[in-house]
Chains A and B, each alone.
Chain A
Amino acid sequence: MEDQKQKEEFFPKIVGYLCNWCTYAAADLAGSSKMELSPSLNVIRVMCSSRVDYNLVLTTFFGGADGILIAGCHPGDCHYDKGNYYARRRYALLKSILETLKLDPERLQLSWISASEGKRYVDVVNEFTERIKKLGPNPINRNAYY
């Protein structure tokens, strides 16, 4: 019972690295359409999803984030030609790094959300939040690092 209660109260800390041109615009559209979004997501704006490097993702987990969402333009739509393809490659490698760190790779998600997909943005964020809620808090002890 106690356990169950704790899980319900768990308020995950999620960091969203959103590309300026597509997904950040989708977030704006979700906002202006007054859609309901999980408050767990904390948005950090980057110019391109390809800016998000291994270091940033890992320190975000070490810093205590329970989940990370990287979101950018659909493949082929990148404002900088091919940046999102690089983001995809890094994502694939990061997944396996997370495994070796005994972090569930499901805690990291890469999504393509275009500027007109306000609703999809909300769905992706809310579903990801639910998933992180099920996974529970990030097992890495932040204080061990900081």
Chain B
Amino acid sequence: MNNTYDTLVIGSGIAGMEASLLLAKGGKKVCLVEKLPLIGGNIIKNEESYPHLECSTCMVAPVQQEILQHPNIDLMMLSTVQKVEGEAGDFHVTLHQKPRYVSLTACIGCGMCYEPCPVSLKNEWEENLSDKKAIYIACAGALPNVPVIDPEHCLQISGKKNCKACQEACMFEAIDFSDQENEVDIRVKTIVVATGFELLDVSHFSHLGYGKLPGVYTAMEFERLFASNGPTSGELTLRDGEKAPKSVAIVHCIGRKEQGYCSGVCCMSSLKHAHFVKHKLPDASITHFYSDLCVPGKLSQKFLHQVKEEGVHFIFQTDPEAVRVAENGSGLEVKYTHGKGVQETLSVDMVILEPAMIPDKTASQIAKILAIDQDNHGFFRTLDEKAGSTETSRSGIFVAGCAEGPKDAQYAVIQAESAVGHVVRSLSVSHTE
């Protein structure tokens, strides 16, 4: 691995991938750093993306393949940025890479190693809706199609037992229990931060029952439940694994008040979720609890009308977060305010909570390491005086995607391309100096 690059891209979601590929195609050398053992970010968790309900895998897999194969991109997975010194044109970056224990070059992705592994764990990438082994890939179709070992739970690596089941099953000598963590020093001229978002943890809204009532789901859990490469192969069944929900409540704006902003995309994904339920369970009744339907853009209202025509109900709430979810026999009941203060109750089998988008949990640490500003929500701040720009408070460092604020994939890609524009400009400045 060469250790000098034109650009370091942090995060391999849709924004990070677009920035890396566009630069690589323009002949720039890119180091792409991803903390997880797979690339693709949050978008690959969605089976379909609005407004066209386009299959995300079909859309993103060719991009992922290009990333994996492009000679100008060095991809470092399981890696984080530890230290950044220097300045625009010559940043000295220290990366920390966790061991994968499986060789990316030797492994061919046959999957023979999972079955013999005696350890069973919850698969957190699948929102804990399915199990995985201590050697695993996140989901079928994950790229690169090379597993990783969880060292904490692997009997061999954690020293609990001299188990070599996976190593014996592997015919390619791809598994190396002695794989070590690694520090890599690189020098880069520019940095693009694309660390993305996560959804607000909704378990602290105790009146919504998440974590206590099995029928309550987060938006991301529901996405995986619907996904044909997900825990149920796309079957919409409740956590008992058998019953399909006959009635579903979708609650908007969870955390909007607390966070102080509207995430701008959750209404559309809520509508998509309603459509998903209708698509697979046409007889299910669906009720949205919303306060504002924020469906901006030239195509979105049409989708709203389509969902309304599918027979989905909408109940206005001044504050949807104030609804209460309680147990009701084998199902759930949603208590809400109807009209002028009248309390009403709706019995449902499933509740989907649509939480706010918040910065990835690593954001503050990255802000400190890169010495760039965050806004009061924790997203990376761009230059106020340059509206719409992707320049951060530090020269040579640019931000793209949901690391800058909640947005849809389209705008994330636009920012990635914008960051690339700044990178090119910055590179020729450092070249002439």
From 62 to 82 in chain A, residues with beta carbon under 8 angstroms from any chain B beta carbon are 73-74, 76-77, 79
Q: For A33, what are the chain B residues with a Cβ–Cβ distance below 8 Å?
A: 140
Residues of A within 8 A of B47 (CB): 116
Interface hits, B51-88 → A, CB 8 Å: 52-59, 61-62
* A74, A116, A117 pick with most chain B CB within 10 angstroms: A116
Whether A77 contacts B59 by the Cβ 8 Å rule is yes
- The residue in chain B whose Cβ has the minimal distance to the Cβ of A21 is B58
A116 to B59, CA, bound (A): 10
Residue interface bits A49-70, CB-to-B below 8 A is 1, else 0: 0000000000000000000000
Q: How does the 8 Å CB contact mask read for B252-281 relative to A, with 1 for contact and 0 for none?
A: 000000000000000000000000000000
Q: Does A29 make an interface contact (CB < 8 A)?
A: yes
Chain A residues whose CB sits within 8 angstroms of the CB of B229 once the complex forms: 29, 116, 118
Q: Which of B47, B56, B111, B229: most chain A Cβ within 10 A?
A: B229
On whether the beta carbons of B55 and A32 are closer than 8 Å, the reply is: no
Report if B109 contacts A (CB, 8 A): yes
A-B contacts, 5 of them at CB < 8 A, read A25-B61, A115-B55, A115-B57, A116-B227, A119-B228
From the candidates B52, B61, B111, B233, name the one contacting A32 in the complex (CB within 8 A).
Answer: B111
| Alpha-carbon distance between A131 and B59 when the two chains are bound, in angstroms | 32
Shortest Cβ-Cβ A-B pairs, 6 listed: A114-B55, A116-B57, A115-B58, A115-B57, A22-B58, A76-B52
Residues of chain B in range 19-76 having any CB-CB distance to chain A below 8 Å: 47, 52-59, 61-62
Does any Cβ of B come within 8 Å of A34's Cβ? yes
A120 located at the interface, meaning its Cβ lies under 8 Å from any Cβ of chain B in the complex: yes
* B234 contacts A by Cβ under 8 Å: yes
Across the interface, do A120 and B57 meet the contact criterion of CB distance under 8 Å? no
Contacts of B141 in A (CB 8 A): 29, 32, 115-116, 118
B-side residues, CB < 8 A to A, are 47, 52-59, 61-62, 109-111, 140-141, 145, 227-229, 233-234
In the assembly, what is the distance between CA of A12 and CA of B393, in Å? 66
Beta-carbon contact of B140 and A77 below 8 Å: no
From A74, A115, A118, give the contact of B61 (CB < 8 A). A115
Q: Within residues 17 to 36 of chain A, which ones have a CB less than 8 A from any CB in chain B? A: 21-22, 25, 29, 32-34
Residues from chain A with a CB closer than 8 A to the CB of B234 are: 119
Q: What B residues does A29 contact at CB under 8 A?
A: 140-141, 229
CB distance from A80 to the nearest CB of B (A): 12
Given contacts A29-B140, A116-B47, contact A77 B228 (CB under 8 A): no
Residue of B110, B141, B145, B227 with most chain A CB atoms under a 10 A cut-off: B141
A119 to B109, CA, bound (A): 19
Give complex CA distance A76, B56 in Å: 12
Residues on A with beta carbons closer than 8 Å to the beta carbon of B227: 116
Q: What's the nearest-Cβ distance from chain A to residue B407, in Å?
A: 22
Q: Is the CB of B228 within 8 A of A118?
A: yes
Would A77 and B111 count as touching, CB distance under 8 A? no
Q: Say whether B53 contacts A76, CB under 8 Å.
A: yes
Whether B111 pairs with A116 at a CB distance below 8 angstroms is no
Shortest Cβ distance from residue A15 to the other chain B in the assembled complex, whole angstroms: 22
Q: If the complex has contacts A29-B141, A32-B140, are A76 and B54 also in contact, measured as CB distance less than 8 A? A: yes
Contacts A73-B58, A115-B58 hold; do A120 and B228 have CB atoms under 8 A apart?
yes
On whether the beta carbons of B55 and A74 are closer than 8 Å, the reply is yes
**Bound CA span A115–B142, Å:** 12
CB distance from A19 to the nearest CB of B (A): 9
Chain B residue numbers with a CB within 8 Å of A34 are: 111
Taking CB atoms, residues of chain A closer than 8 Å to B110 are: 32
Give the shortest distance, in Å, between B135 (CB) and chain A (any CB).
16
Instruction: State A25–B62 Cα separation when bound (angstroms).
Output: 10
A133 CB, min distance to chain B CBs, angstroms? 25
Apart from A21-B62, A79-B58, what 17 extra A-B contacts exist at CB < 8 Å?
A: A25-B57, A29-B229, A32-B109, A32-B111, A32-B145, A34-B111, A74-B53, A76-B52, A76-B53, A77-B55, A79-B62, A115-B57, A116-B56, A116-B228, A116-B229, A119-B228, A120-B228
User: Chain B residues with Cβ under 8 A from A25's Cβ?
Assistant: 57-58, 61
Which residues of chain A are near B52, meaning CB under 8 Å?
Answer: 76-77
CA distance A25 to B228 in the complex (A): 14
